[in-house]
Amino acid sequence: MRAAHRYLLFYKPYGVLSQFTPEPGSRHQCLGDFVKVPDVYPAGRLDGDSEGLVLLTSDGDLQHVLTDPRYGHPRTYWVQVEGIPGREALDRLRRGGMMIQGYFTRPAAAHLMEAEPDLPQRHPPIRMRKEIPTAWLELTLTEGRNRQVRRMTAATGYPTLRLVRAAIGPVTLAGMMPGGWRDLHPEEVEALRAGLAPGTVRSLPRRKRGSGASR
């Protein structure tokens, strides 16, 4: 009898590669250092210098839905940028149509977060310039091209300092810590199958600017 499929949520720390085997000669950790579950594979990648939610599954059909851009799966990111983006920069992100490496971006949901998310300290910490303020954006994209978020914020004049994927559709990082993983609840799997309806992203607690949570 065939074993049931597994569906996992992993909170990828900074510097960890989204693959189970390390590159030859690489000093970076990979998924296999944290998740000891056989026959599951990442449904989409997250760059080594990014953090946050990675879905792992043995279900090839769901993996296809999550990675094929035709399905327009929403992915929400919390992005710390250098400088304070104004309305013009946010409107550029929202409209889409930004030319990045030969393709035009789709419209995105983008807003300036009133308070920074209460995230664990990144190791190593980001490099900051005291004379330049930073801000946090929440971006929701329906595509996931290589380093797209970083290229989009850079194109508006606000380079990304820290990038955390907070949600894929209805599945969020709430209650998780870097390096931890859990099985998805059945209702989360069904919500993903139903088309990744974003609903309301259940954000982690946020704290006021200047609290030093991620600085």
Q: What is the pLDDT of residues 163-212, one digit of tens each?
A: 999 999 889 999 999 999 999 999 999 988 876 444 433 443 444 433 33
Indicate the pLDDT class of residue 92, thresholds 50, 70 and 90. very high
Q: Which CATH architecture describes the domain 7-201?
A: 2-Layer Sandwich (3.30)
Stretch 121-139: mean pLDDT: 90
Known catalytic membership, residue 47: yes
Stretch 61-69: mean pLDDT: 86
pLDDT exceeds cutoff 70 at 152: yes
Picking from 195, 198, 90, 197, the residue whose alpha carbon sits closest to that of residue 152 is: 90
**Alpha carbons 165 and 150: distance in angstroms, whole number:** 12
pTM (two decimals): 0.87
CA atoms lying within 13 Å on the CB side of residue 187: 1
- pLDDT top residue among 48 and 72: 48
Domain locations along the chain: 7-201
**Alpha carbons 78 and 87: distance in angstroms, whole number:** 18
Indicate the pLDDT class of residue 51, thresholds 50, 70 and 90. very high
Mean pLDDT across the chain: 87
Contact, 43 vs 57, CB < 8 A? yes
Cis geometry, peptide bond prior to residue 124 (ω within 30 degrees of 0): yes
CA 95 distance to own-chain centroid: 21
In the set 33, 39, 47, 91, the catalytic residue is 47
